[in-house]
Chain A
């Protein structure tokens, strides 16, 4: 799987995945939690005090779709893509096992280890 390398802002988030720790960027000034990581807080505009705080790894399915046509040659179908609403608030994208899903279903984070030592979070039942 090709996941582009981290950049200056996202490196800390990806580093935590090496230890299978799910973190979320959190503003030390106002407490806002956001994803993906950014060079500023979108709630209070602070550009300092932004850190990665351990998250619960839990959420619910916000919306999903079963993909039946491959986005690129060699990708096996069908598979399920979902928006996951994390317990902390932000919405993230993930794949889900199987096709039998419903909106509102609870999910927990799991990990898919990448060749470079990072891990991709993948949510499951």
Chain B
């Protein structure tokens, strides 16, 4: 339990926008502030990544700010969740009053994504792994899926349900890239072109423009703002690897300890969670995270997700926006997990609203199962 709350949340334009990253960042920040009933004049803390080498400083200058506190923690898709933890601590310590956490990219418009990833020649991976030609990050997740299937007898059919359910949620979300695309079937996923076995194109997240922002402030201040405060109840994180060979067991991720610490801080268990937003860069990413977070035992997640349990109206409300698989994936999707969690907790999610949602978890994953960060959010109803 902390004394900090999220008081504003918004997306920038999503999909194929033709806009620059800084334009999309500006949309995300100003819309989230408007949602909170605040303006840039109220902001004294800023956190972002993906803008430039000096990401947060760059964005601050662009917005006309000289922040009292910044954070540019660069850990890929879990960055926004880690930033919530850092911002919460800084607000509680009195260093800063109102923090905006944002991310945006135009990767679809700019065609800036490559299957081989970014290689940095001075790293050990450049000498010892890149020469073999793995897809980065995809081949690592593919090997994790292969190992999981081997260990527990899982199948591509069962894993495909994660993509199928994500589509069902996206069909309820007018902002989703696949809204209106019609349902996806298990057969569609299996028949899609193979990219890195056992994962097909349909096991992989979208490549879109997009992003979002959230605004945090102290709870006593939050009570005077436009929306009921969404409290930061807990947080935790783990960083485990950059190479494809450091982690002994590909089926257990840093989400286990990240989640354990976040849940303990919040004083909850997985059974208390009404809405679960986990990074689904690939179907297997979501599967491994759900299991590591303790929503089932080892080897059980592919059974847990069957029988419509993670589809709209099922027992486990998972990735209610449609996720990275069917809603939006601008890279570093973590901030949009938070935005959707806030909307669900405020009861603003329209056709995809989870009834009486009071506790939500946002769990980000970065790199090749490299970084993991969990945020527990809650409202009083």
Residues of A participating in the B interface, judged by any CB pair closer than 8 Å: 1-4, 6-7, 10, 14, 35-36, 38, 62-72, 75, 79, 81-83, 90-95, 103, 120
Contacts and interface: CB of A to CB of B under 8 A. Distances in A.
A69 B115 contact: yes
Contacts of A6: 127
Contacts of B60: none
Contacts of A66: 194, 196-197
A70 B115 contact: yes
B307 interface: no
A119 B115 CA distance: 26
Contacts of A120: 131
A83 B143 contact: yes
21 contacts: A4-B122, A4-B126, A6-B127, A7-B122, A10-B127, A38-B124, A65-B146, A65-B197, A66-B194, A67-B133, A68-B193, A68-B195, A69-B196, A71-B115, A71-B116, A72-B115, A72-B116, A81-B143, A83-B245, A92-B128, A95-B132
A67 B131 contact: no
Nearest to A94: B132
Interface of B: 114-117, 121-122, 124, 126-129, 131-136, 139, 142-144, 146-147, 150, 193-199, 243-246, 248, 250
Instruction: Please name the 6 residue pairs, one residue from A and one from B, whose CB atoms are nearest each other, closest first.
Output: A71-B116, A65-B142, A63-B143, A36-B124, A66-B197, A63-B147
Contact of A68 (B128, B196, B243): B196
A3, A70, A83: most-surrounded residue (chain B CB, <10 A)? A83
Contacts, number: 101
Given A63-B146, A63-B147, A103-B146, A68 B129 contact: no
Given A69-B195, A90-B245, A35 B128 contact: yes
A92 B127 CA distance: 12
A94 B143 CA distance: 13
